[in-house]
Amino acid sequence: MSDVLRPVELTAEQAGDIPAIGQRPATVRFPPGHAAEDGRLVRSARDGDTEAFARLYERYGRVVHGLLLARVARDEVDDLVQDVFLTAWRRLSDLRDPAAFGGWIAMIARHRTTDFHRRDAEFVNLADDIESRGADASEQADARAALAAIRALPQAYRETLMLRLVEGMSGMEIAQRTGLTPASVRVNLHRGMKLLREKLHR
């Protein structure tokens, strides 16, 4: 990993604040092997290799989707994911350290959500219905309630739980894709799940 992204060795507890995925917390740490592969793919993509960029999409599509779903209506998310990756495709040359792709794409995703928010007005008028797929009205209502409860959690918990419960990623995958340490992810998952249970059973 580059010096630019050199991590400061802090546990989540030491840091005092649980880091959020879309931010660039002091604990960002992309595993060297994973980051090296990202770097290789980014360099190929810069040369016009669409297959390499498709691999980056495979690696980070769920992360971007989860980060966006934590902030904006489901109806908007799919289009936004594509916007984020098209932005990244066009601006790959701006990325000085190819191995930092994960943090960079997360930052683009956060920027893209800005337009969907106004301060103090997040998640108003969301449209999160699951069209088709055989879900009955009761399941849809439960799903909407669960999604709303996750979104009401503090940012770090909501993002991590979105990736785990919605995107189906394991804790280790979340750590590898977001740059958070496994310990931070584990803290986010367990503390977030505890809060989520309280909200759902209130």
Partner 1 sequence: MNDDTRHDYLWDGSGEPDAEVARLEALLAPYRHRRALPPLPAREAPPRRRAMAIGLQFAAAAASLALVTAAAWSAAALRPSGWNVESLAGAPSVAGSRLNSRSRLPVGALMTTDAGSRARLDVALIGVVDVEPNSRVRLIASRPGERRLALDRGGISARIWAPPGNFFVNTPSSTAIDLGCAYRLDVDDDGRGTVHVDSGWVAFEYNGHESFIPKGAICLTRPGFGPGTPWYEDAPAGIADALTILDFSSTDDVRRPRALETILAAARPRDALTLWHLLSRGTTAERARVYDRMAVLAPPPQGVTREAVINGNRAALDAWWNTLGLDSASWWRIWKTPWK
Among 34, 40, 110, 199, binds partner 1 (CB under 8 A): 110
Among 35, 104, 158, 178, binds partner 1 (CB under 8 A): 104
User: Which residue from 187, 166, 178 is spatially nearest to 34, judged by alpha carbons?
Assistant: 178
Among 53, 153, 157, 177, binds partner 1 (CB under 8 A): 53
Helix (H, G, I), strand (E, B), or coil: what is residue 131? coil
Is 85 a binder of partner 1 (CB under 8 A)? yes
Among 41, 72, 180, 187, binds partner 1 (CB under 8 A): 187
The CA distance from 163 to 178, in Å, is: 10
Among 29, 59, 65, 151, binds partner 1 (CB under 8 A): 65
Among 106, 166, 180, 195, binds partner 1 (CB under 8 A): 166
Size of the residue set binding partner 1 (CB under 8 A): 74
- In the region spanning residues 8 to 27, those forming contacts with partner 1, defined by CB under 8 A, are 23-24
Both structure tokens of 102: 């994960």
Residue 159: how many other CB atoms lie within 10 Å: 29
End-to-end CA distance of the chain: 44
Given the complex with partner 1, which of 37 and 143 has the nearer CB atom?
143
| Full DSSP string of 70-124 | TTS-HHHHHHHHHHHHHHHHHTGGG-S-GGGHHHHHHHHHHHHHHTT--TT-TTT
Is 130 a binder of partner 1 (CB under 8 A)? yes
- In the region spanning residues 26 to 45, those forming contacts with partner 1, defined by CB under 8 A, are none
Is 54 a binder of partner 1 (CB under 8 A)? yes
Determine phi and psi for 45, rounding to 5 degrees.
-65, -35
- In the region spanning residues 135 to 164, those forming contacts with partner 1, defined by CB under 8 A, are 135, 139, 142-143, 146-147, 164
